[in-house]
C-alpha cells in the first residue's frame, strides 16, 4: 500500500512540474471555437447565396429561351427578357454576357440561351465570367 501512495505522489509531482495547470484556458478555447464557428457559418451563407444566384440565372435563361422560341418573337426579345430578369433580381453586373441562337443539337430546332455570369465569392463580389448557364426551348411555329 505504501508503494501505491508513493507512486501516486510521484505522478502528481511530475504532473505539477509539467505545467498541467489549465487556469485561463477557457477564454482561449472560446476564441478558437468561436472563430471557427463564425467562419463555418459565413461559408454556409456564402454557399447559399451562390446557389441562389445560379438558380436565378438559370431560371432567367429558361424563361428567356421559351420567350424567344415563341412564333411571334425574336432571339433578341428572349435575350432582353433574360437580361431584364437577371438585372431586376440580382443586379446588372450579372447580366452582361447573354447570347441566344438557334440549334439543332437536340434532334429538333431549339433556341439555346447562354448566360455567362459572375461566380459570387464574397457577398455578391466574385470572379467575372466564371459561370456559364445554358437553357434550351423548342421553337414554336404556326405550321
Show the CA angle centred on residue 94, arms to residues 92 and 98, nearest 5°.
100
- Where does residue 35 rank: exposed (0-12), middle (13-18), buried (19+ CB within 10 A)? exposed
Q: What is the pLDDT of residue 3?
A: 78
**pLDDT tens track for 64-103:** 999 999 988 999 999 999 999 999 999 999 998 999 999 8
Q: How far apart are CA 138 and CA 96, in angstroms?
A: 25
Domain total for the chain? Answer: 1
For 42-57, the pLDDT digits (tens) are: 999 999 999 999 999 9
Is the CB of residue 41 less than 8 Å from the CB of residue 111?
no
Sign of CA dihedral 76, 82, 87, 92: negative
Mean pLDDT of 5-30: 72
Q: List the grid coordinates of 55.
A: 438558380
Question: Where do we find the cell 443586379?
Answer: 91
Q: Is 29 a domain residue?
A: no
Q: What is the domain extent for residue 77? A: 38-138
User: Is the model more confident about 51 or about 20?
Assistant: 51
Q: pLDDT tens-digit profile of 26-35? A: 888 889 999 9
Query: Rounded to an integer, what distance in angstroms lies between the CA atom of residue 68 and that of residue 90?
Result: 22
* CA contacts within 13 A on the Cβ side of 74: 3
Does 53 reside within a domain? yes
CA distance 36 to 42: 10
User: Would you say residue 20 has pLDDT above 90?
Assistant: no
Q: Is 59 inside any structural domain?
A: yes
Question: For residue 91, is it within any domain?
Answer: yes
C-alpha grid cell, residue 43? 461559408
- Whose cell is 420567350? That residue is 67
Task: Give the model's confidence band at 14: pLDDT under 50 very low, under 70 low, under 90 confident, else very high.
Answer: low
Look at residue 17 and tell me if it is in a domain.
no
118 occurs within a structural domain: yes
Write down the H helix ranges in the chain: 2-17, 25-68, 75-89
Amino acid at each position: 500500500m505504501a508503494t501505491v501512495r508513493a507512486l501516486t505522489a510521484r505522478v502528481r509531482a511530475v504532473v505539477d512540474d509539467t505545467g498541467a495547470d489549465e487556469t485561463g484556458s477557457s477564454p482561449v478555447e472560446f476564441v478558437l471555437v468561436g472563430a471557427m464557428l463564425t467562419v463555418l457559418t459565413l461559408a454556409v451563407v456564402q454557399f447559399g447565396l451562390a446557389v441562389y444566384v445560379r438558380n436565378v440565372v438559370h431560371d432567367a435563361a429558361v424563361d428567356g429561351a421559351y420567350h424567344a422560341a415563341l412564333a411571334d418573337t425574336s432571339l433578341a426579345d428572349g435575350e432582353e427578357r433574360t437580361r431584364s430578369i437577371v438585372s431586376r433580381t440580382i443586379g446588372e453586373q450579372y447580366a452582361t454576357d447573354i447570347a441566344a441562337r438557334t440549334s439543332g443539337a437536340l434532334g429538333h430546332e431549339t433556341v439555346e440561351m447562354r448566360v455567362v455570369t459572375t461566380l459570387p465569392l464574397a457577398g455578391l463580389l466574385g470572379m467575372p465570367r466564371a459561370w456559364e448557364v445554358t437553357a434550351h426551348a423548342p421553337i414554336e411555329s404556326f405550321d
